[in-house]
């Protein structure tokens, strides 16, 4: 087993933390990690992320730093920038954002004034907090006008057009965190251009699919792109902001505005170990095997969706075009997401409870679950495995149908009893054993 599994130095100096990390390695190795915003990074990337670059304070940009000692760090960040520009075909890239939410805030700072109107997909309809939701600074500091999905689960483009014409937003987001269909970037561009809005694609979930050719690219249609570097890109937990040719045609100073918004407006020293790992991820993403992986992610998701529907489960929009599936559990009652996610975890299948459009319950007790295929595909699983896994998921959900979300004052005691029930459920335990066995047949990538 490699050093990042054995942890020899950490085991010696801090056995408590080392033991917990080793247990997490075991959880990932012998469970099905199906939260669609997660993936497994390569051993090479882990080496970059855990390198001495974490020691360097690097406030500023390459060749424009506020400290000394950048003989090697500047070239590393430059490599990350150039690889991002090449991979996406854009003229400018900023690789310093710490993560997706601060990167999106930088876009607001660069393009909007406080109080400007912005549009994004409604959070319960699959959107993201930073696209104007009321509890986010994006909804507190700016005037949000949300758009929605239709009854069929697809984005209501007629509504997007109508709202844009009515409210004349400064910025329109296209992107989501729980939307299973392909985005029509061209249709959004037509609407944004008509009202003079900046169009920003938040492609955090689908970046790897775009670079694989499994999803259309937004580059020719939008002014700015934000993407996290984890998820389907299989990189570290970070983010990038890309300025397109169209963006520079709209505002020749847009690249400079983005850079100033990231630093010094919102961030201090960038995390150069994270940036080095991003460079590694981008290098890997331009290899043929990465493109094959991206295509297989979608094939697996479609196969899994088909099995789930065949087993009687309702999917929002009736299927998927990408890496994720949103299961609507309201046919079995409101608020079933918490029961399904915890029962599946007991069977070593890790998904997340999630709201569905027009959810009759609350975000804390939502009526859906969100799951996806990136990590399963990284392990080498294909359509045959999706057939098995889909059946196990359906079997677990059958075990929780009889549980009903009680009144608020009764929930703590009810959920305590539910958790005891699933721990002693022999059917769920049997599925957990099958999950462990299939994971053994697809060895954890750390040991490749």
- Does 228 participate in catalysis according to the annotation? yes
Does residue 211 fall inside a structural domain? yes
Q: Check whether residue 350 and residue 309 sit in a common domain.
A: yes
- Classify residue 408 by its DSSP letter: G
Rounded to 5 degrees, φ, ψ at 370 are -115, 130
Q: Which of 170, 231, 336, 348 is catalytic?
A: 231
Q: Check whether residue 143 and residue 275 sit in a common domain.
A: yes
Bridge partners, 226 (sequence order) = 202, 241
Determine contact, residues 132/142, Cβ cutoff 8 Å. Answer: yes
Is 60 exceeded by the pLDDT of residue 175? yes
Does residue 24 fall inside a structural domain? no
- Does 117 participate in catalysis according to the annotation? no
Is 50 exceeded by the pLDDT of residue 1? no
Q: Check whether residue 280 and residue 327 sit in a common domain.
A: no
Q: Which of 177, 228, 278, 320 is catalytic?
A: 228
Q: Which of 243, 258, 285 is the last residue of a domain?
A: 285
CA angle 96, 102, 104 (to 5 degrees): 100
Residue whose C-alpha is closest to residue 232's, from 323, 319, 300: 323
Q: Check whether residue 229 and residue 320 sit in a common domain.
A: no
Q: Check whether residue 277 and residue 382 sit in a common domain.
A: no
Euclidean distance between CA atoms 130 and 381, whole angstroms: 33
Does residue 28 fall inside a structural domain? no
What is the number of domains present in the chain? 2
Q: Check whether residue 271 and residue 301 sit in a common domain.
A: no
- Does 246 participate in catalysis according to the annotation? no
Does residue 35 fall inside a structural domain? no
pLDDT at 440: 94
Q: Which of 56, 65, 237, 257 is catalytic?
A: 237
Q: Which of 285, 319, 351 is the last residue of a domain?
A: 285
Q: Check whether residue 196 and residue 316 sit in a common domain.
A: no
Domain CATH number, residue 309? 3.90.1150.10
Condensed to tens digits (0 to 9), the pLDDT of residues 261-319 reads: 999 999 999 999 999 999 999 999 999 999 999 999 999 999 999 999 999 999 999 99
Does residue 102 fall inside a structural domain? yes
Domain CATH number, residue 239? 3.40.640.10
Q: Check whether residue 85 and residue 152 sit in a common domain.
A: yes
Does residue 37 fall inside a structural domain? no
Q: Which of 47, 59, 156, 184 is catalytic?
A: 59
Q: Check whether residue 318 and residue 355 sit in a common domain.
A: yes
Q: Check whether residue 406 and residue 278 sit in a common domain.
A: no
- Does 370 participate in catalysis according to the annotation? no
Determine contact, residues 54/275, Cβ cutoff 8 Å. Answer: no
pLDDT at 448: 39
Q: Check whether residue 396 and residue 247 sit in a common domain.
A: no
Task: Give every CB contact of residue 236 below 8 A, 6+ residues apart in sequence.
Answer: 41, 45, 49, 229, 230, 274, 277, 278, 281
Euclidean distance between CA atoms 176 and 434, whole angstroms: 33
pLDDT at 444: 75
Determine contact, residues 396/431, Cβ cutoff 8 Å. Answer: yes
Q: Which of 285, 313, 329 is the last residue of a domain?
A: 285
Q: Which of 28, 77, 202, 359 is catalytic?
A: 202
Task: Give every CB contact of residue 49 below 8 A, 6+ residues apart in sequence.
Answer: 41, 236, 273, 274, 276, 277
Is 90 exceeded by the pLDDT of residue 11? yes
Could you tell me where the beta strands, DSSP code E, fall in 9-56? 32-33
pLDDT at 260: 98
Q: Which of 11, 38, 47, 57 is catalytic?
A: 57
- Does 66 participate in catalysis according to the annotation? no
Is 60 exceeded by the pLDDT of residue 34? yes
Euclidean distance between CA atoms 217 and 230, whole angstroms: 18
pLDDT at 443: 85
pLDDT at 78: 98
Q: Check whether residue 130 and residue 209 sit in a common domain.
A: yes
Determine contact, residues 408/434, Cβ cutoff 8 Å. Answer: no
Q: Which domain holds residue 199?
A: 52-285
Does residue 319 fall inside a structural domain? yes
Does residue 43 fall inside a structural domain? no
């Amino acid at each position: 087993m490699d050093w990042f599994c054995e942890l020899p130095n950490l085991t010696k100096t801090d056995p408590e933390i080392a033991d917990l990390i080793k247990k997490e390695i075991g959880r990932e190795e012998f469970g099905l990690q199906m939260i669609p915003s997660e993936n497994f990074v390569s051993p090479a990337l882990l080496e970059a992320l855990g390198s001495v670059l974490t020691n360097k304070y690097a406030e500023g940009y390459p060749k424009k730093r506020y400290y000394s000692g950048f003989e090697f760090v500047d070239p590393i960040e430059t490599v990350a920038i150039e690889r991002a520009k090449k991979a996406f075909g854009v003229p400018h890239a900023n690789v310093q954002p710490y993560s997706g939410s601060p990167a999106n805030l930088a876009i607001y700072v660069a393009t909007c004034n406080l109080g400007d109107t912005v549009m994004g997909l409604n959070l319960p309809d699959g959107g993201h907090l930073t696209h104007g939701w009321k509890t986010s600074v994006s909804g507190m500091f700016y005037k949000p006008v949300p758009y929605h999905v239709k009854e069929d689960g697809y984005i209501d483009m007629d509504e997007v057009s109508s709202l844009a014409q009515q409210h004349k937003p400064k910025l329109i987001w296209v992107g989501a965190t729980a939307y299973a269909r392909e985005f029509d970037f061209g249709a959004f561009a037509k609407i944004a251009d008509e009202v003079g809005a900046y169009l920003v694609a938040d492609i955090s979930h689908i970046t790897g699919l775009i670079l694989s050719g499994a999803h259309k690219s937004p580059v020719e249609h939008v002014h700015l792109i934000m993407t996290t570097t984890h998820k389907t890109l299989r990189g570290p937990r970070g983010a990038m902001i890309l300025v397109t040719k169209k963006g520079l045609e709209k505002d020749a100073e847009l690249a400079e505005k983005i850079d100033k918004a990231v630093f010094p407006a919102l961030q201090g020293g960038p995390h150069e170990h994270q940036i080095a790992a991003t460079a590694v991820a981008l290098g890997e993403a331009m290899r043929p095997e990465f493109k094959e992986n991206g295509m297989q992610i979608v094939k697996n998701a479609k196969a899994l969706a088909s099995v789930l529907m065949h087993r009687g489960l309702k999917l929002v929009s009736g299927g998927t075009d990408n890496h994720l599936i949103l299961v609507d559990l309201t046919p079995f009652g409101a608020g079933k997401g918490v029961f399904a996610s915890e029962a599946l975890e007991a069977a070593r299948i890790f998904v997340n409870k999630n709201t569905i459009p027009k959810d009759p319950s609350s975000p804390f007790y939502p009526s859906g679950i969100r799951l996806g295929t990136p990590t399963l595909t990284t392990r080498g699983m294909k359509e045959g495995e999706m057939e098995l896994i889909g059946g196990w998921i359906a079997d677990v959900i059958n075990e929780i149908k009889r549980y009903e979300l009680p009144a608020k004052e009764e929930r703590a005691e009810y959920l305590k009893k539910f958790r005891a029930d699933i721990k002693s459920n022999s059917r769920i335990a049997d599925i957990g054993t099958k999950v462990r066995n299939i994971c053994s047949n697809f060895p954890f990538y750390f040991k490749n």
